[in-house]
Every structure is written in C-alpha cells, then in structure tokens.
Amino acid sequence: MSLSSSTIATLRRRLAAREISPRDIITDLAGTIETRNGTLGAYLTWDVDKALAEAEKADLSLPLGGIPIGIKDNINVTGQPCTCGSRMLSENYTAPYDAGAITRLRNAGAIPFGRLNMDEFAMGSSTENSALGVTRNPHDLDRIPGGSSGGSAAAVAGNLAVATLGSDTGGSIRQPAALCGCVGIKPTYGRISRFGLVAFASSLDQIGPITRTVEDAALLLNHLCGKDPRDSTSLDVPAPDFTSALGRDIKGLRIGLPKEYFISGIHAGVSASVQAAIKKLEGLGAIPVEISLPHTDVGVSTYYIIAPAEASANLARFDGVRYGHRSAGAGDLMEHYMMSREEGFGPEVKRRILLGTYVLSSGYYDAYYLKAQRARTLIRQDFEKAFEQVDVIVSPTSPTPAHRLGELKDNPLAAYLEDIFTIPVNLAGLPGISIPCGTAEEGGRQLPVGLQIIGKPLDEANILRVADAFEKA
C-alpha cells in the first residue's frame, strides 16, 4: 500500500518500527499530488521543500510525529497562502501566524502540508464557488466533491492526503465527507479553537478532521480540542482520550430516528443505504427509537438568515485597505471600497452579504434576524428534548449523492436545501459525524452515501463509538 493511501494509525506504527521515515511520507505524498492533482484539483498550493524540512526535524516521540495533514485554505498557517478560495485573498495575503488548531497539531508533531480548495469563504456545498479552480469527486470525475471543504474530502478520497482539516458552518465537513466516502466530524461548538480560522459565521463555525477511518478522526481530535485564550468561545473543558471510545460495543444504546428526517424527496439509493445501516446498528444491539424534531422545517431558512448576517459583518474587513484585493482603478475612498469588493468577491459571497445586510438593517432586524434567533432556540430545544430519550441521533448526511458539476450552479435555493440534515446540528452547537454507509446508484455509477450520527453537547465519544462499531461491522 502506498504511504499516501495509509491511515494515520498505520503510519504511526510503521514510523515507530523505523520501517519508514517522515521524509518518505512527504516524498510519496508529493509524488501522488504531482501526478493526480491536475485532474482532481484538491490542492490549490503545496510546498514540498518546506514540508521536507519539517519532516527532517519531526519528533517521532510525539503522538502525531511526522504525520502530514492537509489544510483547508481558510485556516492560517504561518508563511503560507490562505486564500479562502477567493480572489480577495489570492493575490497578496500570506498568513502571519498559525491558527490555534495548527499550533495544537504542531505541538503533537504533525506537519501541515498543502492548501485545499474550498467554496469561496466556505459559502457553498459543491466547491464550485471557489474562484480558484474546479475540484472533482474522485469517485466520478464529472461530479462535485461536495463542499465547502471539497478539497479536504477529495484529497483524502483520492489518496492525495492521509488526513485533512476542514471547517463546518452548516455541514461543510460532513457533507463533502459523505459525498466522497470519507469520515468527517464536526465537534461541539467551542471544542476546537477558531482562532486563525477565517470567520464565516462565528456562532456556527467549527474546525474538524476528515479522515479514512473513525480511529484517525479520534486520534486527531485528541490533539485538536481544548481551550485557547485567543478564542473566547473555546470551551475550557479537558478533552478525553477519544480513542478509548473505540472498540466498545453499542448494546442497549438508544438511537433516535427523527421522523422529520426520513421524508420523501430523499434519493432512493441514499434512503436504502441509510435504512440498511440502521438495521446493522440494530443488529449490533442498539435500540432504535422514533423521535421528533418538530422545527426541522425552519432549519434551513433560520440558517440562511443567521449565517449571512454574521458573514456580512465578518467580511466587512475585506476592503482592500488592510486585507484583500485592492482595485487599481479607484479614484476616491468610497470608490476604492466599492470597486475592491466588487472585483474581489464572487457572486455567492455577494449574495450572502446582501442577504445579511438586509436582515440586519433597521426595520427588518426584528422581522428576520431576531425571529431567526428565536427559531434557533426552538431548534436547540428540540434536540434537548430528544436527547432525554436517546443517546445519539442518526440520519442521512445529505439527501442526495454527489451532483454533476454545474447541475445546481444556477439554482442556489436548491443547493441551500441540500443542507437540511446538517444545518440544525450547527444551529444547536452539537457534535456530528458522517461515516460511509454504502452507495447509491446515479447515472450508472455507484456513489458514496454518508450516515450522520449526532451527539449530545461534548459527547463526541459516543458518536465515535457508534461510528467505530458500524465501521468495524
């Protein structure tokens, strides 16, 4: 097996046995990227010399010593580009510092290697909103990898990375993981520092890993979680050893099946795979319980008020003065702002800024933003009630397998609706994982399907436990 298609766990064993060196891993990975990235478009940039220099110094006594991790291009790594898939940041921005998550990875010995494509400023679910290139699904090159962390998922699925980091505001780790057949986990809001993650919607954003196995996800989480004084929303709770949740049975565990999530309109192949997965969990001793999340129907509309509102404020900093593209043709200051932003942002980002500014403007604030905040509370309370009856909740991750490139490009509303099962998890701040659970046939191809497992706040251990039991079965 080539090193780039290995798992972290396997590489760690082989490094410890001195069968391979960190240099071998980087060299192997760089070779695969050189040959395949032209087709897949997972990476925007990668710096082999830098990674090799870090590999030479890797401390193998550390838990992730010598393991390269691909990074979504909205997470700052000192001296590297951080384009956010946008023209706004692609010309003249170099990260001046490491994000909190990167510092933690480095402290555990890992090597950040490569910058992964994404929807512009993480707005989208296909990576087609990137201003910097197309990313393809390794399972069918005519199809999207999902998004917004499409590069992160395509790299893992296409053997161009051992594991990657993504970010998830409304599904952007779980959905591309599902569409590319990977494992992707969005931890509880506040588990992982957002310091140095370019903000999209600050009350929803979380960083998380995309990996080949549940074990690798647990290994990475062990070193990513924890308080960071530079992110006031990061939680001051010690992270458990998540790997101790693995290899345990799930007998008697109560699995909630929200009746609002098992509806018509879901792709037949997705539905069949998810139902089969539920049967398998039952076979392993879990107890299915029908539950209700009555405010599911307002999740998408609530999100598409709150997320753009926060985005419109967060993206105000990209004005060409301190950050971002600076228009060459502007005369006075006002023109400078207007032209820099007009030229720097793509259509989806502009759509969100307009939406967000509108719902926050005086006269509309109460009718939209405040109402959405109330709806968000109701959605969170739905989960609180449900978790009185069950230990975890399962659902499809995405209602459909990967679309063809271009299929939803001119239909943003249809694209928004695809987030129906992932968005409520962010609105409620809960942890959620997507794991591969079979395939669905589409256009004569078998495409990956993801099973989403949602947990109580800070209960990543139980969703990893269920995911691991399912994966092993």
**Catalytic residue positions, numbered:** 72, 148, 172
362: number of Cβ within 10 Å: 6
Q: What angle do CA 437, 291, 218 make, to 5 degrees?
A: 40
Shorter beta-carbon distance to ligand GLN: residue 29 or 199:
199
From 99, 101, 123, 386, residue interacting with ligand GLN (rule: CB under 6 A): 123
Q: Starting at the earlier edge strand, list the strands of the sheet with 68-72.
A: 43-45, 111-116, 68-72, 164-168, 206-211, 183-186, 432-442, 445-455, 392-396, 254-258, 287-291
Rg value, the chain, Cα: 21
Contact by Cβ (8 Å): 201, 77: no
Among 307, 433, 451, 467, binds ligand GLN (CB under 6 A): 307
| Residue 51, CA distances (Å) to 19, 67, 208 in order | 20, 10, 22
- From CA 326, how far away is CA 437, in angstroms rounded? 46
243-302 residues in contact with ligand GLN (CB under 6 A) are none
Is 320 in a helix, a strand, or coil?
coil
User: Please, which residue, 122 or 467, has the CB nearer to ligand GLN?
Assistant: 122
3 state DSSP class of 45 = strand
Q: Indicate whether 391 belongs to the interface with ligand GLN (CB under 6 A).
A: no
In whole angstroms, how close is the CB of 419 to ligand GLN at the nearest point? Answer: 5
Residue 80 or 148 having the CB closest to ligand GLN = 148
Cα–Cα distances (Å) from 225 to 89, 129, 369, in that order, read 28, 29, 31
Instruction: Tell me which residues in 27-66 interact with ligand GLN (CB under 6 A).
Output: none
Which of 124, 258, 356, 401 touches ligand GLN by CB under 6 A? Answer: 124
The piece of 74-82, 123-131, 229-237, 335-343 that touches ligand GLN (CB under 6 A) is: 123-131
Q: How many residues bind to ligand GLN according to rule CB under 6 A?
A: 13
Query: Does the protein bind ligand GLN through residue 442 (CB under 6 A)?
Result: no
> Contacts with ligand GLN in 141-170 (CB under 6 A)?
148, 168-170
77 or 305, CB closer to ligand GLN?
Answer: 305
Q: Which of residues 165-224 bind ligand GLN (CB under 6 A)?
A: 168-172, 200
At a CB cut-off of 8 Å and minimum separation 6, what does 267 contact?
399, 400, 401, 440, 442
Q: Which is nearer to ligand GLN, 3 or 201 (CB)?
A: 201
Q: Is 122 in the site for ligand GLN (CB under 6 A)?
A: yes
**Long-range pairs for 368-374 at CB < 8 Å and ≥24 separation?**
368/305, 369/305, 369/306, 369/309, 371/305, 372/301, 372/302, 372/305, 372/306, 372/309, 373/306
Q: Tell me which stretch binds ligand GLN (CB under 6 A): 20-28, 120-128, 250-258, 361-369.
A: 120-128
Min separation Cβ 213 and ligand GLN, Å? 23
419 contacts ligand GLN (rule: CB under 6 A): yes
Tell me how many degrees the CA angle 166-451-152 measures, rounded to the nearest 5.
20
Cβ(318)–Cβ(88) below 8 Å = yes
Assess 81 for contact with ligand GLN (CB under 6 A).
no
Closer CB to ligand GLN, residue 6 or residue 172?
172
By CB under 6 A, name the one of 4, 117, 125, 302 that touches ligand GLN: 125
Q: Identify the DSSP state of 124.
A: -
Smallest distance from the beta carbon of 166 to ligand GLN, in angstroms? Answer: 9
Give 320 or 401: the residue with its C-beta nearer to ligand GLN: 401
Residues of this chain that interact with ligand GLN (CB under 6 A) are 122-125, 148, 168-172, 200, 307, 419
